Amino acid sequence: MLVQEDLDLWPSDVVAFNRGVVLEGDLLIDQLTGTRLSLNGPAVQLLAAVDGKTSVEDCASLIAAEHGWDSTRVTNDFAAVIDNLERYSLLHIRRSFLSRLQRQNIITALSRLLSLDWPRPPLRRYPPNLLSLTLACLRATRWGLLAGMIVSCLLALVFTMQGLGQTANGWKLAYAFLPFILFLALVSHIIFHEAGHLAAMNLLAPQSSKYVLVRGLRISVAHSSLGPTTERAVAVAGPLAGLAGAQFIGLALLAVPEMSAVAPVINLSGFLHLYSFCPWTADGRMIWKRRP
């Protein structure tokens, strides 16, 4: 998946508040947060002014006096900004255990639970190289890989108890590991997909800014503006590389008789990468979006 971001960096210094708020420097990426969240001038000024020795209310009063605004309204607006930043994992709140037991916090937690407003997983950034991309994909899918391994181990135990490992048909024990091999192969051609994006960017725009980004199960390559033709070429390279990688993995598995049952599944799953050409997907928006 490919996303474009403006590479607007937060200040590298950590800004701390008396109330336990810590703002860490990171990328503000609208496409990943799902919102067009932005800070106006006074809010940015407030972020820059607050440190470990000054309270939020004092800074809000100073800015309100400077602009002729109501200090209570400025404080409330800033509290809303903090809430939005925290909700989209752009702000990290460190609170004591006792503060979490306050009635208002409990009510807020229950309301979010009932509305299924779950907090988003943190955004992790990796260097744009193949090793980091592989580690990022394995990290994002680690629970699936673990589940596949557990299922395979249980099947191997069942087959062993049935005596398959002690007969002439003992090679059938390899079938127990099909779930893990299948999931690992699926993860592998996801790596091919994202590696296609990176390879195209390194070839067509080697000086561009780019990162591998992971949020939960979502893996993407973020880049700065590359120009219409280059962006389309980079967007197309990912699905094609994913499709080619799936076919390569499927053909490689055909060479192992015990894994021949998995090969067609891998080959067919590779065509799912063609879904990325649809205009409502992240890659499709880069391919089909209209230019002025």
Q: Which of 91, 120, 149 is the last residue of a domain?
A: 120
Query: Which pLDDT score is estimated for 26?
Result: 34
Q: Do 37 and 85 touch, CB atoms closer than 8 A?
A: yes
Please report, in angstroms and rounded to a whole number, the separation of the first and last CA atoms in the chain.
24
Q: Are residues 218 and 130 in the same domain?
A: yes
Q: Among the listed ranges 55-69, 125-139, 164-178, which one has the minimum average pLDDT value?
A: 164-178
Domain's final residue, options 120, 144, 160: 120
User: pTM score, two decimals?
Assistant: 0.53
Q: Is there a single domain that holds both residue 136 and residue 90? A: no
Average pLDDT over residues 215-236: 73
Do residue 218 and residue 150 come from a single domain? yes
Question: Same structural domain for residues 15 and 74?
Answer: yes
CA 22/CA 117 separation, integer angstroms: 22
- Encoding tokens for residue 163? 């005596």
Q: Do residue 111 and residue 205 come from a single domain? A: no
In the chain, how many domains are there?
A: 2
The set of long-range contacts for 120-124, using a CB threshold of 8 Å and a minimum separation of 24, is 120/33, 120/87, 120/88, 120/89, 120/215, 120/216, 121/89, 121/215, 121/216, 122/89, 122/215, 123/26, 123/27, 123/29, 123/32, 123/89, 123/90, 123/213, 123/214, 123/215, 124/213, 124/214, 124/215
Q: What is the pLDDT of residues 234-292, one digit of tens each?
A: 888 888 888 888 888 878 777 777 667 777 777 777 787 777 777 777 777 777 765 44
Taking the C-alpha atoms of residue 7 and residue 29, their distance in angstroms, rounded to an integer, is 8
**Beta carbons of 23 and 47 less than 8 angstroms apart:** yes
pLDDT at 71: 75
Distance, in Å, from the CA atom of 56 to the CA atom of 62, rounded to the nearest integer, reads 10
Lowest-confidence region among 15-19, 37-41, 92-96, 219-223 = 15-19
Helix axes 56-67, 71-87, angle to 10 degrees: 120
Query: Residue 126: beta bridge partners?
Result: 212
- State the chain's mean pLDDT as an integer: 63
pLDDT for 4: 37
Question: Is the predicted pLDDT of residue 99 greater than 60, yes or no?
Answer: no
Whether the pLDDT of residue 222 is over 50: the answer is yes
pLDDT for residue 112? 54
Note whether 229 and 148 are same-domain residues.
Answer: yes
Q: Are 79 and 101 within one domain?
A: yes
DSSP 273: G
C-alpha to C-alpha distance for 104 and 96, rounded to whole angstroms: 15
Per the CB < 8 A criterion, the answer to whether 244 and 267 are in contact is: no
Tokens of 151: 């299922």
Mean pLDDT for the stretch of residues 100-111: 54
Please name the amino acid found at residue 259: M
Range of the domain at 266: 124-288
Rounded to whole angstroms, the Cα distance separating 184 from 182 reads: 5
Q: Do 238 and 109 share a structural domain?
A: no
Residues 6+ apart with CB under 8 A from 130: 195, 198
What percent of the chain clears pLDDT 90, i.e. is strictly above it? 0
Q: Residue 33, CB half-sphere, CA atoms under 13 Å: how many?
A: 18
DSSP three-state, residue 166: helix
Clarify whether residues 19 and 94 are in a common domain.
yes
Note the pLDDT of residue 109: 57
Query: Residue 3: phi, psi to the nearest 5?
Result: -130, 155
SS3 223: strand
Q: List the beta bridge partners of residue 69.
A: none
pLDDT surpassing 80 at residue 118? no
Whether residue 141 sits in one domain with residue 116: no
